[in-house]
Amino acid sequence: MYKYSIFETKYGNMGAVASEKGLHMIILPKKKPEEVKKELEQYYTELIRDEEGLKGIGGRMREYLDGKKVKFREKMDLAGATDFELKVWDATLGIPYGETRSYAWVAKQIGEGKGVRAVGGALGRNRLPIIIPCHRVVSKEGDLGGFSAGIEMKVLLLKIEGALLC
């Protein structure tokens, strides 16, 4: 059973889902609340709305989007992830606010120097964008690389953190 909350931010309506163990998924901003709901129903069958229990994360998310250096210390429910994914996400968590690293850097951190593409794959499967700063991982030589939720969102997040000049 999962609890969820849909909240309004300056960039649109976001969603947060949590189990008893912790945060399970974050839905990046969408135009309408219904779109968030629809996406949630696509992944979960048992959902209960719980604005009260999740208003903490909602509030911190709003502060983050306002450009504050928010520290997300939420508990995370990473059930279902493979060893490799856990290592990738852990290394990504270590990238400081406002800075970026390359996929190769992440691969090196976890001792998988040749698994750069696998790193990209694992980040793409990340259910907790922003909390796990997958947007801080970019391609080498200034290229941004990709982003499953849309490259525009990656650009937006990096601009918010001031990691992108323009």
Partner DNA sequence: ATGCGAAGATGGA
Partner DNA sequence: TCCATCTTCGCAT
Among 75, 117, 159, 162, binds DNA (CB under 7 A): 117
Q: Which residue matches tokens 């690389």?
A: 145
Q: What angle, 0 to 180 degrees and rounded to 10, lies between the N-to-C axes of helices 83-93 and 116-124? A: 90
Of the ranges 13-21, 29-37, 50-58, 113-121, which one interacts with DNA (CB under 7 A)?
A: 113-121
φ and ψ of 32, to 5 deg: -115, 150
Among 23, 25, 54, 122, binds DNA (CB under 7 A): 122
Q: Which residue matches tokens 């080498």?
A: 140
Can residue 124 be called a binding residue for DNA (CB under 7 A)? yes
Can residue 133 be called a binding residue for DNA (CB under 7 A)? no
Can residue 147 be called a binding residue for DNA (CB under 7 A)? yes
CA-wise closest residue to 78 among 131, 29, 42, 135 = 131
Among 46, 52, 143, 152, binds DNA (CB under 7 A): 143
CA-wise closest residue to 23 among 79, 93, 63 = 79
Q: Which residue matches tokens 């939720």?
A: 149
Can residue 140 be called a binding residue for DNA (CB under 7 A)? yes
Within 71-90, the residues that bind DNA by CB under 7 A are 80, 82-85
Calculate Rg over the CA atoms of the chain: 16
Within 46-65, the residues that bind DNA by CB under 7 A are none
Can residue 115 be called a binding residue for DNA (CB under 7 A)? yes
Of the ranges 6-14, 30-38, 53-61, 117-125, which one interacts with DNA (CB under 7 A)?
A: 117-125
Is 134 assigned a catalytic role?
yes
Rounded to whole angstroms, how far apart are CA atoms 42 and 87? 27
| The two three-digit tokens of residue 48, written as one number | 């209960």
Catalytic site positions: 134
State the residues that interact with DNA by CB under 7 A. Answer: 80, 82-85, 102-104, 112, 114-126, 129, 134-135, 137, 139-140, 143, 145-149
